Copies of this chain bind each other. A is one copy, B any other.
Amino acid sequence: MAKNLKMKSARAALDLSQDELAKRCKVTRQTISAVESGDYNPTINLCIDICRALGKTLDELFWEDKK
């Protein structure tokens, strides 16, 4: 799977560490790291928590238009 750079840059834009984002989503730092590196299939609830913490929507962080 591909890295989630949209998420990574949204997090960077808010100057949040993985650890801080993890706390706000109530998961561990490792889980956030795994989601960003893309070798993961997170649950929708976690995706929604991440979106809310980063001020983005699902489409903005987790959707890719198919060609």
Interface residues of A in 36-53 (CB under 8 A from B): 41-45, 47-48, 51-52
- Which residues from 17 to 67 on chain A have a C-beta closer than 8 Å to any C-beta of chain B? 41-45, 47-48, 51-52, 57-59, 62-63, 66
Give the complex CA separation of A58 and B48 in angstroms. Answer: 10
B43, B51, B66: which contacts A43 (Cβ < 8 A)? B43
Q: How far is the CB of A35 from chain B (nearest CB, A)?
A: 9
Q: Are A43 and B42 in contact (CB under 8 A)?
A: yes
Q: Which residue of B lies closest to A42 (CB)?
A: B44
A10 to chain B, nearest CB (A): 15
Residues of A within 8 A of B (CB): 41-45, 47-48, 51-52, 57-59, 62-63, 66
